[in-house]
């Protein structure tokens, strides 16, 4: 049984999984902390998002309230910014940071920001690849006991998993750029005072680290698969 214990996961992947969990917990803590720091100008998240759009000459983008927390997003298909209950009507610096970030995505889309366009273009392919990756690898392993050529399915599965890493890599500049746009708008439009800007910036930085951690996990997972199933890492029958 010890032969089948996967040390590659423990050594390569687990540290970054723990990092990802820590990043997610840090987002929640940071958001909760700065949810108690309210804007002196009493601007709500929805109002702040609208100011970012107006400052960039972007119109016809709806801003809607949705239930939940930290599930805020911009939907380019319907051209709508959806803000959670904790963000939409809140005047906290955390809420304003999140709302302006999502408005930054809407501005990216309106201005044809290249990484945003690339991410949108590859989403269908990466979704299919992520769903097929592990089934193909498992099927390839099973069939490899009956036909040598079937191991090609394992390689195909690894390639499909690689697509998810490509998506994560493309997502990084999109998210960091949206946060940069958000802070520029917050400062330029005078949405928050200099002291209050710290709360928004720290909230956005904490959120950005979750994407960095997710990318690191995907990278280590791909490296693990390559070690296990290619070259000297491939187990022989």
Query: How far is it, in rounded angstroms, from Cα 182 to Cα 55?
Result: 11
What pTM was estimated for this model as a whole?
0.88
CB atoms within 10 A of CB 175: 20
Task: Decide if pLDDT at 235 tops 80.
Answer: no
Identify the pLDDT of residue 150: 64
pLDDT digits (tens, 9 = 90+) for 154-179: 889 999 999 999 999 999 999 999 99
Residues 28-64 as b/e (b if ≥16 CB within 10 A, e otherwise) read: eebbebbbebbbeeebbbbbbbbbbbebbebeebebe
Identify the pLDDT of residue 231: 58
Average pLDDT of span 206-225: 95
Identify the pLDDT of residue 149: 59
> Which residue of the set 32, 47, 64, 102 is catalytic?
102
Average pLDDT of span 69-97: 96
Identify the pLDDT of residue 3: 47
Q: Are 53 and 98 in contact (CB under 8 A)?
A: no
Name the pLDDT band for 1 (thresholds 50, 70, 90): very low
Task: Decide if pLDDT at 145 tops 80.
Answer: no
- The DSSP-derived string for 38-61 is B-TT---HHHHHHHHHHHTT--S-
Identify the pLDDT of residue 153: 85
Average pLDDT of span 42-65: 95
Q: Is 102 a catalytic residue?
A: yes
Task: Decide if pLDDT at 4 tops 70.
Answer: no
Query: How far is it, in rounded angstroms, from Cα 175 to Cα 12?
Result: 25
Average pLDDT of span 193-201: 96
Identify the pLDDT of residue 61: 96
Burial of 120 (0-12, 13-18, 19+ CB in 10 A): middle
Task: Decide if pLDDT at 137 tops 90.
Answer: no
Task: Decide if pLDDT at 37 tops 70.
Answer: yes
Please tell me the number of Cα atoms within 13 Å of 92 on its side-chain side: 19
């Amino acid at each position: 049984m010890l032969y089948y214990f996967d040390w590659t996961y423990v050594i390569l992947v687990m540290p970054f999984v723990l990092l990802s969990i820590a990043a997610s917990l840090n987002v929640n803590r940071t958001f909760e902390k700065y949810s108690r720091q309210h804007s002196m100008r009493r601007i709500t998240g929805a109002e702040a998002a609208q100011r970012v759009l107006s400052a960039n000459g972007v119109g016809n983008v709806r801003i809607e309230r949705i239930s939940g927390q930290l599930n805020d997003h911009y939907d380019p298909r319907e051209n709508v910014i959806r803000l959670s209950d904790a963000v939409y009507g809140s005047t906290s610096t955390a809420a304003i940071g999140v709302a302006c970030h999502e408005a930054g995505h809407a501005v990216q889309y309106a201005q044809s920001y290249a990484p945003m366009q690339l991410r949108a273009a590859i989403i269908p392919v990466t979704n299919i690849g992520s769903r097929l990756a592990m089934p193909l690898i498992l099927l390839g392993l099973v069939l490899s006991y009956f036909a040598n050529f079937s191991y090609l399915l394992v390689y195909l599965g690894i390639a499909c998993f690689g697509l998810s890493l490509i998506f994560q890599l493309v997502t990084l500049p999109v998210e960091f750029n949206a946060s940069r746009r958000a802070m520029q708008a917050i400062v330029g439009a005078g949405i928050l005072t200099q002291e209050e800007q710290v709360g928004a910036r720290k909230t956005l930085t904490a959120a950005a680290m979750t994407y960095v951690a997710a990318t690191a996990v995907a990278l280590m997972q791909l490296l693990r698969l390559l070690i296990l199933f290619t070259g000297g890492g491939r187990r022989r029958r």
